[in-house]
C-alpha cells in the first residue's frame, strides 16, 4: 500500500500534473494496483499523450494555465529553439537527451518579469532560421526509427494523434498538407 501511495504522489507531481496540484486522474490508480506490473506500461507514451491533450486544452479560449509533464515540454523547447537553450553537459549517446541540460536559476520579482518580457519579445521576433528543425541530425528519422511511428498515442482514456508527416520540416523535407489523422472509434 505504501508503494502504491508513493507512486500515486510521484506520478501526480511529475508525469500527470494537473492544475489542482493535489489530484490525479482516477484511471491512474488502475495502473498502480499491482506494482510488479509497473514496467509493463509505456509511461513515456502515457506522459506524452497526456501532455498533448493538455496542450490542446491550453489553447482553448478561457484557459488560464498549462499542465502535464512540463519537463518534457521544456526539453523539447531546448532541442528545437536554441534562443531559449541553457548550458549543456557532455553525455553519453545512451543517456536521455533531456538529462544534459543545466537548468537555469529561477529569478523572482522584477527579474522574473523582465525575463518574461524578453522571452515574449524573442518569440515575437522568431524566424524559421531560429528553429533547429533537425535536432537529431539530417537523417534523424533513420537513426531513430521510433520517429517514423504514425498512429494515435494512447494512455488509459486519452487518445492523441501522432503523425510525423505533420512536421516534415524538422526532418529537412518540404512540408506537405498531411493526410487526415486516423482516430479509433472506441
Counting residues of the chain whose pLDDT is more than 70, the rounded percentage is 76
The residue with greater pLDDT, 66 or 142, is 66
Residue 17: exposure state from Cβ atoms within 10 A (0-12, 13-18, ≥19): buried
Find cell 523539447 and name the residue.
Answer: 76
Find cell 537527451 and name the residue.
Answer: 97
Please state whether the predicted TM-score (pTM) of the whole model is above 0.85: no
Residue 35: exposure state from Cβ atoms within 10 A (0-12, 13-18, ≥19): middle
Q: Are 147 and 167 in contact (CB under 8 A)?
A: no
3-state secondary structure of 114: helix
The DSSP secondary-structure symbol of 76 reads H
Write out the three cell numbers for 1. 500500500
The predicted model gives 141-158 an average pLDDT of: 69
The yes-or-no verdict on residue 47 having pLDDT over 90 is: no
The predicted model gives 160-174 an average pLDDT of: 66
3-state secondary structure of 88: strand
Spell out the long-range contacts of 140-144 with Cβ–Cβ below 8 A and sequence spacing 24 or more.
140/171, 141/171
The residue with greater pLDDT, 68 or 145, is 68
Find cell 537523417 and name the residue.
Answer: 139
The tens digit of pLDDT for each residue in 89-110 reads 888 877 777 777 777 777 778 8
- Nearest Cα residue to 135 out of 82, 184, 79: 79
Confidence of residue 159 (pLDDT cuts 50, 70, 90): confident
Q: What is the pLDDT at residue 145? A: 56
Residues 6+ apart with CB under 8 A from 95: none
DSSP string, 65-79: ---S-HHHHHHHHHH
The yes-or-no verdict on residue 68 having pLDDT over 80 is: yes
Amino acid at each position: 500500500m505504501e508503494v502504491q501511495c508513493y507512486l500515486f504522489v510521484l506520478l501526480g507531481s511529475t508525469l500527470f500534473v494537473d492544475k489542482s496540484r493535489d489530484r490525479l486522474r482516477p484511471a491512474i490508480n488502475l495502473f498502480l494496483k499491482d506494482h510488479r506490473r509497473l514496467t509493463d506500461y509505456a509511461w513515456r507514451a502515457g506522459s506524452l499523450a497526456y501532455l498533448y491533450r493538455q496542450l490542446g486544452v491550453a489553447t482553448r479560449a478561457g484557459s488560464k494555465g498549462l499542465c502535464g509533464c512540463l519537463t518534457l515540454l521544456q526539453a523539447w523547447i531546448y532541442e528545437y529553439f536554441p534562443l531559449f537553450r541553457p548550458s549543456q553537459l557532455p553525455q553519453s549517446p545512451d543517456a536521455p537527451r533531456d538529462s544534459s541540460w543545466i537548468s537555469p536559476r529561477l529569478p523572482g520579482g522584477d527579474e522574473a518579469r523582465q525575463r518574461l518580457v524578453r522571452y515574449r519579445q524573442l518569440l515575437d521576433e522568431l524566424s524559421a532560421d531560429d528553429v533547429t528543425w533537425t535536432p537529431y541530425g539530417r537523417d534523424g528519422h533513420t537513426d531513430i526509427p521510433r520517429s517514423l511511428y504514425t498512429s494515435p498515442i494512447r494512455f488509459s482514456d486519452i487518445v492523441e494523434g501522432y503523425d510525423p508527416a505533420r512536421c516534415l520540416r524538422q526532418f529537412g523535407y518540404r512540408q506537405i498538407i498531411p493526410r487526415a489523422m486516423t482516430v479509433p472509434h472506441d
